[in-house]
Amino acid sequence: MGGVRWAFRCGSWTPSRSEWLLAARCVQREEKERIGQFMFAKDAKSAMAGRLLLRRLVCDRMGVPWSDIRLERSPRGKPYLANPACSSPETMGWSFNISHQGDYAVLAAEQGLQVGVDVMKTTMPGSTSVPEFFRIMTRQFTDYEWSVIRRAGSEWEQLTMFYRHWALKESFIKAIGTGLGFNLQRAEFHLSPEPIAEGKVCRRTTMHLDEEEEEVWAFEETVLGKDHHVAVALGPSHTVRSVPPPALTDPPPSFTFLSFSDLISMATPLFEEDSAYWENFQKKAEAPERQRLIATV
């Protein structure tokens, strides 16, 4: 079975009352509560899309009924299927990961490989200059990586290169599940000479770990929409020894865009409707507009 690459445009998703309340009924209760605690609607939408992507994957590709899916997080935040009763050849060996930032939520999954994914949108620093922003982030990249970033051209092009490197590093540490304790300078990326473009997936970027090239890791890169860079890290699994390192002869899969209808097409509501959940979401959606109006007074 091939790998899975899915994307959802959460930035342009304006859920109706019925959609939002249905989505809330189709995730675990504690996930619903956590999503409800976000201050802004855009963050709540992204988190909801991420949970629905995960559940759709487990139901569709692993054959676990929606109502039986129990997702948990490792101590360092990586999602995994927690149901011992659901162990089967179809569920064994799967690694999956999600990321949401900017206008997209993305999912990558493979059977027999470790997977990490990260999406980053190129944006200007909010309250400082680009040189000052880079100074603050100095320790996150090696001297070689900084030389590549600073040679990129204009400040915007340098930021684009910065976020490309950042997505690669995040995809790797998410794949190995180490979290914030990992020294990012240990992983140095040597970028593919191929230009990265929307609709094209590149897998020629390499990583040096502790100054030694890692031949058992592969990295896929692509662009979604405007200014969103996506990196997928693929490495050897610790649980499935029969699967070799990533085969670079296979063409890397492109991201498939799912609609909200796709996300919930296999869903089963898990509990009763909570109308107050919609009212809470509406308040989050109205908050940025109120702030904009206050700023113009």
Amino acid identity for residue 33 in this structure: E
At 235, list the tokens. 């490495």
pLDDT at 154: 96
At 13, list the tokens. 């998703």
pLDDT at 73: 86
Beta bridge partners of 245: none
Percent of the chain whose pLDDT exceeds 70: 89
Determine the Cα–Cα distance for residues 85 and 96; give it in Å rounded to an integer: 19
Calculate mean pLDDT across residues 153-158: 96
pLDDT band at 286 (very low <50, low <70, confident <90, very high): confident
Is the pLDDT at 139 greater than 90, yes or no?
yes
Q: Read out DSSP for 41-75? A: HHHHHHHHHHHHHHHHHHHHHH---GGG--EEE-T
Determine the Cα–Cα distance for residues 61 and 69; give it in Å rounded to an integer: 12
Kindly report, residue by residue over 198-246, the tens digit of the pLDDT.
889 999 999 999 999 999 999 999 999 889 999 999 999 865 444 445 5
Question: Are β-strands 256-257 and 4-8 bridged in parallel, bridged antiparallel, or unpaired?
Answer: parallel
pTM here is 0.91
- Spatial neighbors of 168 by CB under 8 A, at least 6 apart, are 118, 189, 205, 207, 219, 221, 231, 233
Kindly report, residue by residue over 78-120, the tens digit of the pLDDT.
888 887 556 665 667 899 999 999 999 999 999 999 999 999 9
Calculate mean pLDDT across residues 185-208: 92
At 221, list the tokens. 């890169």
Q: Ramachandran region of residue 182, left (φ > 0), alpha (ψ -120 to 50) or beta? A: beta
Sheet with 256-257, strands from edge to edge, namely 94-101, 104-111, 4-8, 256-257
State the burial class of residue 175 (Cβ atoms within 10 Å of its Cβ: 0-12, 13-18, 19+): buried
Give me the helix-helix angle, 275-296 and 17-25, nearest 10°. 130
Place of tokens 């990196």: 231
Determine the Cα–Cα distance for residues 214 and 212; give it in Å rounded to an integer: 6
Q: Are 116 and 97 in contact (CB under 8 A)?
A: yes
Q: Is 223 helix (H, G, I), strand (E, B) or coil?
A: strand
Alpha helices in the chain (DSSP H): 17-25, 29-36, 41-62, 130-136, 143-150, 155-176, 260-263, 275-296
pLDDT at 76: 73
Nearest to 233, CA basis, from 249, 250, 245: 245
Q: Are 94 and 111 in contact (CB under 8 A)?
A: yes
Say which residue, 130 or 296, is predicted with more confidence. Answer: 130
